[in-house]
């Protein structure tokens, strides 16, 4: 018995669910979790089906491909047991990195970390869980951005990383590199977007006197801070909180917001819908 996750999207029309689940039933699949969404604005349809299969996936895959052509699906079909290869990027703040590595070790995240890339040497880190993982120290200056990004690209291609996570990587990616990573790179932004875009959001929040701060995980696109949002969360703050307090409280929000987005991505729960996401969370 093997376990699979199918996702698909297409222009909506009657009969999609019946066709997909019919083909699945014929192939001997048993649905364990399913969710769908009909976007009334765009007329798009989105579906995720997790199923157990007592037989050869090739049989279903082949039958499904015909259907996909007929309906014009964009689709993925992944082995639920297959760990995804993930590359983690970090700068000096390592709370998100440490949190992801710890969750990976516990089996919370269905991933294999193929390496850590940083623009700083590993001795700036507070955590120790990265020991034993490949650590790529790629310094960067204004003048070497293109070369440094080429180095990262190289690591992605050599390791076969399917997902890149910007775990408080504090460099602004070039447009080219953003485009290259589009849809397979998750960033954590330390504000409740669209509030406080840009630099030092906690200091901006302090100046404005807001009573809540938050964090946002989103896919990277060419448009900085405008990528499709996956998850957000917040916490109450008060007049007595200094910028340092906001930074401290923010760390807790950031790590849980990023971890949740990464987990959902690794379980194929996040589908792109233009500049938004459809999240089939459990």
**Annotated active-site positions, please?**
225
**Considering beta carbons, is residue 137 or 260 the nearer one to a second copy?**
260
**Considering beta carbons, is residue 117 or 193 the nearer one to a second copy?**
193
Residue numbers of the site for a second copy (CB under 8 A)? 14-15, 17-19, 21-22, 24-25, 28-40, 95, 98, 102, 105-106, 108, 126-129, 131, 192-196, 208-212, 214, 228-234, 238-242, 245, 248, 251-252, 256, 273, 275-279, 281-282
Q: How many CB atoms lie within 10 A of CB 36?
A: 17
CB of 58 to a second copy, least distance (A): 19
Q: Which two tokens stand for residue 40?
A: 């009334």
CA dist., res. 202 & res. 250, Å (int): 8
CB of 195 to a second copy, least distance (A): 4
219 CB-side CA count, 13 A: 22
Cβ(72)–Cβ(148) below 8 Å: no
CA dist., res. 225 & res. 199, Å (int): 11
CB of 62 to a second copy, least distance (A): 18
Q: Which two tokens stand for residue 79?
A: 């082995």
**Considering beta carbons, is residue 149 or 268 the nearer one to a second copy?**
268
Q: Which residues, at least 6 apart from 52, have a Cβ–Cβ distance to it below 8 Å?
A: 1, 2, 3, 4, 29, 30, 32
Length of the chain, in residues: 282
CB of 245 to a second copy, least distance (A): 7
CA dist., res. 200 & res. 74, Å (int): 38
**Considering beta carbons, is residue 185 or 261 the nearer one to a second copy?**
261
């Amino acid at each position: 018995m093997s376990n699979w996750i199918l996702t698909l999207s297409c222009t909506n029309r009657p009969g999609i669910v019946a066709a997909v689940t019919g083909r699945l039933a014929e192939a001997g699949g048993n649905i364990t979790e399913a969710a769908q969404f009909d976007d009334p604005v765009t007329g798009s349809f989105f579906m995720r089906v997790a199923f157990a299969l007592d037989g050869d996936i090739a049989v279903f895959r082949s039958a499904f491909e015909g259907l996909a052509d007929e309906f014009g699906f964009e689709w993925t079909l992944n082995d639920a047991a297959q760990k995804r290869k993930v590359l983690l990027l970090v700068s000096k703040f390592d709370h998100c990195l440490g949190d992801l590595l710890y969750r990976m070790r516990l089996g919370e995240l269905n991933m294999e970390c193929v390496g850590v890339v940083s623009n700083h040497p590993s001795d700036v880190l507070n955590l120790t869980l990265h020991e034993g993982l490949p650590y790529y120290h790629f310094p960067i200056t204004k003048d070497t951005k293109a070369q440094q990004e080429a180095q990262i690209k190289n690591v992605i291609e050599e390791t076969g990383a399917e997902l890149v996570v910007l775990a408080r990587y504090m460099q602004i990616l070039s447009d080219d590199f953003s485009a290259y990573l589009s849809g397979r790179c998750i960033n954590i932004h330390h504000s409740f977007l669209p509030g406080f875009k840009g630099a030092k959001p906690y200091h901006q929040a302090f100046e404005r006197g807001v009573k809540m701060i938050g964090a946002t995980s989103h896919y990277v696109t060419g448009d900085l801070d405008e990528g499709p949002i996956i998850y957000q969360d917040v916490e109450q703050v008060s007049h007595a909180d200094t910028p340092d307090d906001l930074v401290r409280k923010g760390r807790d929000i950031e790590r849980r917001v990023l971890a949740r987005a990464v987990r959902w991505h690794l379980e194929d729960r996040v589908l792109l819908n233009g500049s938004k996401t459809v999240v089939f969370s459990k």
